[in-house]
Amino acid sequence: MKTILKRISILTHHETELIDITPRILELVQSSEIQNGTVFVLSLHTTTAITVNEGLPDLEKDITEMISRLVPEGQAYHHARYLPSDGQMAVNAPSHLRGALLGFQVFFPIEDGHTVRGSRQTIYFVELDGPQQRTYVVQIMGE
């Protein structure tokens, strides 16, 4: 079995932002030459998410507004204190909790060299505490 692991870094531009990474994932699967297997996409951060939805600007706005409604700023979160291991004030509990709701990874099967996904499924890297430099991992496994 062949395994390929790619780390992809991006500089995000906004506090909350849905970035379409579908073309990059499809391209990596194609160039891997793996015909049958699985592609995993994983964010390396706890204040980001990886999610799948229909790639429409109105839905992107709805998702952004939904997570803000579900996890608002200004609540009495425990995670609001100095963190000596970072040298920073940890004041981003909402970002962590929004990430926990959306999830950090997705996977798709690969069949005959193509990523199997619904025609309306767009893969998003979701920034929840930007702007920052972020990395996600794409692992392609198969034969």
Partner 1 sequence: MIDFHTHPVMVKELLESDPGLVQRIRDAFGFFFPALPLEGFLLEMDEAGVEQAVLLPVDCTTAHGGPIVSNEQIAHLVDQNPRLIGFASVDPNQADAPKRLEVAIKKLGLRGLKLDPALQRFYPNSTEQAYPVYQACAELGVPVLMHCGMSWTPLGQAKYAQPLLLEEVIQAFPTLNFILAHFAWPWIHEATMLAVKYPNVYLDTAILYSGTPQDALQHVLVEQVGINVVERSLWNKIVFGTNYPRIDMRRCGRGIQALGLRPGTLKSILSENACRLLGK
| 33 neighbors 26 (Cβ within 8 angstroms) | no
Across the strands, what pairs with 40?
107, 139
- The verdict on 87 binding partner 1 (CB under 8 A) reads yes
- The verdict on 61 binding partner 1 (CB under 8 A) reads no
Mark the segment that binds partner 1 (CB under 8 A) among 19-27, 31-39, 118-126, 131-139.
131-139
Burial string for 101-133 (b: 16+ CB within 10 Å, else e) reads ebebebebebeeeebebeeeebbbbbbbbbeee
- The verdict on 89 binding partner 1 (CB under 8 A) reads yes
User: Out of 3, 15, 30, 54, which residue is the one contacting partner 1 (CB under 8 A)?
Assistant: 15
User: Out of 27, 35, 82, 120, which residue is the one contacting partner 1 (CB under 8 A)?
Assistant: 82
The phi and psi torsions of 73 (rounded to 5 degrees) equal -70, 165
- Positions touching partner 1 (CB under 8 A) are 11-15, 73-74, 80-82, 84-89, 91-92, 130-133
